[in-house]
């Protein structure tokens, strides 16, 4: 039986000519037979890749052999099959979309909250002078979060800076931030420090590492992940389910995408409602004639779009003009 793994990782480290790096890195991943999604930016790497244990080891060895990424901390999950069906490696302005692109303002390599190992986080989280802050999006913390955590009404991490004012009431306390794997906390904790919060910490390795090292104690529900698995169990100590079906209110941890491609909302839906609603979040979405076929999973592969030659030509022209300037 083939042994597969899924790797979750990130590394804030400057990359020169990051666009070219992304192209070369994609070919390297393909040569190993890996599948997954990697974001490359001038500020570093953020990825989830999946493949055989041997391929994953070769990948980790190669990343650690590069001095720029030697500090990368991989979260490793054993899986029955690869967690992706394609391999993507793309250049973007940031490795996690926050809108905080200016390294003179926010640079995780210079200042972030104090990194807490899972055991340290567990020991501190219930103290009276501590606030546990979830910096993830609504659909993520709705399906699972730490007990008594403060959650924010945001649809995307780029909205986090706008919510800082709502946290002013906690300035006299220790702020313990957490997210899936740790990457969002790097900028979230740095921004909190910049805005005058003095005692700021972050869960090193995020929820995933916390589950592996201390059994996920007091993490209620499941953890949303950005691959075919959608959600994973992390709590083996005192697990429970906190999410409910959007349509009937029944307790369920099953998260899907709305079958209406125009909507595509992330939401929780029980199996019974899934079949009744044909994977849609509402009756209005159910009426869309272009809905995707619901197969019980609620996970849909993106259909490749036709190549826009005119757009590519304009992008290349801008690069030439920029290089000549």
State pLDDT tens for residues 246-282.
Answer: 999 999 999 999 999 999 999 999 999 999 999 999 9
| pLDDT over threshold 60, residue 324 | no
At residue 48, the pLDDT reads: 97
Give the whole-number percent of the chain exceeding pLDDT 90: 85
Nearest C-alpha neighbor of 204 from the set 184, 224, 227: 184
For 38-52, 157-171, 187-201, 301-315, which range has the lowest pLDDT when averaged over its residues? Answer: 301-315
Q: Residues 29, 89, 179, 270: which is the catalytic one?
A: 179
Written as one string, the DSSP assignment of 231-280 is EE---SSS-----B-TTT--B---EEE-SSTTT--EEE--HHHHHHTTT-
Angle at 177 between CA 174 and CA 181, to 5 degrees: 155
Distance (Å) of CA 302 to CA 6, 37, 86, 272, 299: 20, 13, 10, 25, 10
Mean pLDDT of 2-15: 95
From its phi and psi, is residue 7 left (phi > 0), alpha (psi between -120 and 50) or beta?
beta
Q: How confident is the model at residue 245 (pLDDT cuts 50, 70, 90)?
A: very high
At residue 300, the pLDDT reads: 83
Tell me the two tokens of residue 297. 């999973």
**What distance in Å separates the CA atoms of residue 290 and residue 232, rounded to the nearest whole number?**
30
Mean pLDDT of 34-42: 97
All domains of the chain in start order, with CATH: 4-91 (3.30.70.100), 114-232 (3.40.250.10), 244-325 (no CATH)
| pLDDT over threshold 60, residue 192 | yes
State pLDDT tens for residues 81-114.
Answer: 999 999 999 999 999 888 776 666 688 888 999 9
Could you confirm whether 179 is annotated as catalytic? yes
The SS3 assignment for 115 reads strand
At residue 40, the pLDDT reads: 98
How many residues are listed for the chain in this entry?
Answer: 325
At residue 97, the pLDDT reads: 85
Other C-beta atoms within 10 Å of 81: how many? Answer: 11
Give the position of tokens 């609603």: 277
At residue 303, the pLDDT reads: 47
């Amino acid at each position: 039986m083939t042994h597969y793994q899924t790797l979750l990782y990130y590394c804030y480290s400057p990359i020169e000519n990051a666009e070219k790096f992304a192209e070369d890195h994609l070919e390297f991943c393909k040569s190993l037979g890996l599948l997954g999604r990697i974001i490359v930016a001038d500020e570093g790497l953020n990825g989830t890749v999946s493949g055989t244990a041997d391929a994953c080891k070769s990948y980790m060895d190669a990343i650690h052999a590069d001095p720029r990424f030697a500090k990368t901390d991989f979260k490793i999950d054993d899986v029955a099959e690869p967690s992706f069906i394609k391999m993507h490696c793309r250049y973007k302005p940031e490795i996690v979309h926050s809108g905080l692109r200016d390294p003179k303002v926010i640079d995780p390599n210079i200042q972030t909250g104090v990194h807490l190992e899972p055991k340290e986080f567990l020991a501190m989280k219930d103290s009276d002078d501590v606030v546990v802050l979830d910096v993830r999006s609504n659909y993520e913390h709705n399906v699972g979060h730490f007990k008594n955590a403060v959650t924010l009404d945001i649809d995307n991490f780029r909205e986090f800076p706008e919510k800082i004012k709502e946290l002013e009431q906690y300035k006299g306390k220790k702020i313990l931030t957490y997210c899936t794997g740790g990457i969002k906390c790097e900028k979230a904790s740095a921004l909190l420090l910049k805005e005058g919060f003095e005692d700021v910490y972050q869960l090193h390795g995020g929820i995933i590492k916390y589950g592996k090292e201390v059994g996920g104690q007091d993490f209620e529900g499941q953890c949303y992940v950005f691959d075919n698995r959608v959600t994973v169990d992390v709590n083996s100590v005192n697990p429970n389910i906190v999410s409910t079906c959007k349509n009937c209110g029944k307790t369920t941890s099953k998260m899907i995408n709305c079958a209406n491609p125009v909507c595509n909302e992330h939401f929780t839906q029980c199996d019974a409602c899934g079949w009744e609603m044909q994977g849609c979040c509402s009756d209005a979405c159910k009426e869309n004639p272009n809905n995707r076929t619901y197969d019980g999973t609620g996970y849909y592969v993106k259909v490749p779009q036709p190549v826009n030659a005119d757009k590519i030509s304009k992008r290349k022209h801008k690069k030439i003009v920029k290089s000549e300037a």
